């Protein structure tokens, strides 16, 4: 089994995010998506997300190409 991992914030999810996940899944059999946490976004980027980590996680988990979401 070939696993693929991608990373992002996925705040204000849009078509570009969807297409990225679609292309990433096409590269392998199992797609893992790492989503930046609220703490990381604030401490590392000084950026506050519109949606919380849990909300962003639920949205990305609902995409059919995604097999696992991790922080």
48 compared with 15, residue with greater pLDDT: 15
Q: Is 3 a catalytic residue?
A: no
Considering the candidates 25, 45, 48, 57, report the single residue annotated as catalytic.
45
Taking Cα atoms as reference points, which of 51, 12, 4 lies closest to residue 30? 4
- The rounded distance, in Å, linking the Cα atoms of 67 and 29 is 9
- The rounded distance, in Å, linking the Cα atoms of 38 and 9 is 9
Count of beta carbons in the 10 Å neighbourhood of residue 10: 24
Whole-number average pLDDT of the chain: 96
- The rounded distance, in Å, linking the Cα atoms of 1 and 23 is 17
Considering the candidates 3, 19, 25, 47, report the single residue annotated as catalytic.
47
What integer is the mean pLDDT of 23-47? Answer: 94
Quick one: DSSP state of residue 57? H
What integer is the mean pLDDT of 49-64? Answer: 97
pTM, entire model: 0.91
Q: Is 19 a catalytic residue?
A: no
Residues listed for the chain: 71
């Amino acid at each position: 089994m070939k696993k693929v991992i991608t990373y992002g914030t996925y705040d204000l999810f849009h078509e570009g995010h969807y297409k990225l996940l679609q292309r990433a899944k096409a590269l392998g059999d199992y797609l893992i998506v790492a989503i930046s946490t609220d703490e990381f976004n604030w401490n590392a980027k000084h950026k506050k997300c519109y949606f919380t980590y849990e909300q962003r996680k639920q949205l990305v988990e609902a995409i059919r190409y995604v097999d696992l979401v991790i922080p």
